[in-house]
Amino acid sequence: MAEGEKYRKERLDRGIKARSDTIYVLASSRDLLYLLMPRALPVALLILLPILLHGTYWEKVLFYSCIFGLLALSWDFMNSVGLVSLGQALFFGAGAYFAGALNHYLGWPIFLTIPAGTIGGALICTALLVPVVRLRGVYFSIVTLILPLLFAHLIETLEILGGTHGLLSLSAYPSGWIAIYLAVGALLLVLFGFRKILDEDFGMILRGIRDDDRVVMAAGVNIYWYKAQSIFLAAAVGSFAGALMTHYYQFVGRSVLALDYTILPLAAVVLGGPGSFAGAALGSFILVPLSEALRAMGGLRMALYGLILIGALAALPEGIFHYLQRRYHQFERMVKV
């Protein structure tokens, strides 16, 4: 090279990573901490936060973060089967309306409406999406983008389920602690549950479908059955979030089908890093408090999510979580070419 020496960046695993990866018997408490800390610390923090924030405004923000975190996890799960949804609002709205209607019209108590909303909402969404599960890429996304809009318009036009006014005065939680620990508990359960599922044989098929669905088909696997199952799981998580939120607000209206519940989870996953679930949760715990802090911006918040999406896609496509993970496990140095 004419202009002198050139350097390139080299990434190496930290010694402790190599050791704790390969040697099954953990040699020291340091190794143990190295493996446990990234998992135990956020979990402990999440369990403690409701107590620390009790009685403040930020308790509510924590609840919203968990709700959007659940939606983001549900998006990430569908994404790991190669189904890209632009309509998390459909799952959210189905659960919210299902639980709300049972409570409003039939007077079911909360501990029945939330499970019923979760299962019922998930069944409805699965039934709606199964006919289009053959579609690839963009076309599937278009259907998911349109379905929540279609239902919002139907509810308005037919004046069913409360029409434009929504269903009012639903039952509240007996105590704020129940709501917040339900949300936190569900988030942790879904986060580690989804990670576990993708590590199982079942998850291997799902990842195979994402990478090359034709190869999986050629192996004699009915990919549509697997896709339907994963839609059901993702929809159940989204519907649960919807049902939880309905009783928190004690209200359900067309706003639960709005674009907000699609864009924010999407922005959270893209910012946090898709594919790991932890990134999705991390993203929503960054975005939701941020948007609460910027509440004064009002209508511009949606534009802000859009900007964050563009910025994250262009500048850090791997996402914050993968970046942090890399820095944790590896170090970088410059080496002479």
Partner 1 sequence: MEIIIYGITNSISLALMAIGFSLTFGISGLPNFAHGAFYLLGGILTWIFLNQLGIPYLVAALLSILAIGAFGFFLYWGLMLRLRGLAINEVIATLAVAIVIIEVLRWMGFSGFSYVLPPFIRGSVNIGGVWVDNQRIVMVGIGAALIVVLYLFTRRTKTGLSFRAIAQNERTAIAVGIDPDWTAALSLAMGSGLAVVAGLAILPLGAIDTEMGYDILLYALAVGIIGGLESLPGALLGSFILGFSQILVATFLRAQWQTVVTLAAIVIILAIKPSGLLGKYKELEERV
Binding site for partner 1 (CB under 8 A): 84, 86, 131-132, 134-139, 141-143, 146-147, 149-150, 153-154, 156-157, 259, 263, 266-267, 270, 298-300, 302-303, 305-307, 309-310, 313-314, 317
Give the CA dihedral 215, 216, 218, 220, nearest 10 degrees: 170
d(CA 88, CA 237): 10
Nearer Cβ to partner 1, position 28 or 164?
Answer: 164
Rg (CA), the chain: 22
Q: How far apart are CA 16 and CA 26, in angstroms?
A: 11
Closer residue to partner 1 (CB): 86 or 114: 86
Report in angstroms how near the CB of residue 307 gets to partner 1 at its nearest. 6
Q: Is the CB of 26 or the CB of 149 nearer to partner 1? A: 149
Minimum distance, C-beta of residue 24 to partner 1, in the bound complex (Å) = 38
Q: Taking the complex as a whole, how short is the minimal distance between the CB of residue 118 and partner 1, in angstroms?
A: 24
CB of 100 to partner 1, least distance (A): 22
Nearest CA-CA partner of 110 in 232, 240, 256: 240
User: Which tokens hold the place of 270?
Assistant: 């893209």
| CA quadruple 283, 278, 206, 312: dihedral sign | positive
Question: Minimum Å distance from CB 147 to partner 1?
Answer: 7
- β-bridge partners, 13: 330
Nearest to 75 by CA among 313, 312, 235: 235
Closest CB to partner 1 among residues 45, 294: 294
Rounded least distance, CB 139 to partner 1, Å: 5
Q: Which is nearer to partner 1, 92 or 251 (CB)?
A: 92
Considering only CA atoms, which of 284, 260, 264, 241 is closest in space to residue 96? 241
Q: Are 233 and 85 in contact (CB under 8 A)?
A: no
27 or 307, CB closer to partner 1?
A: 307
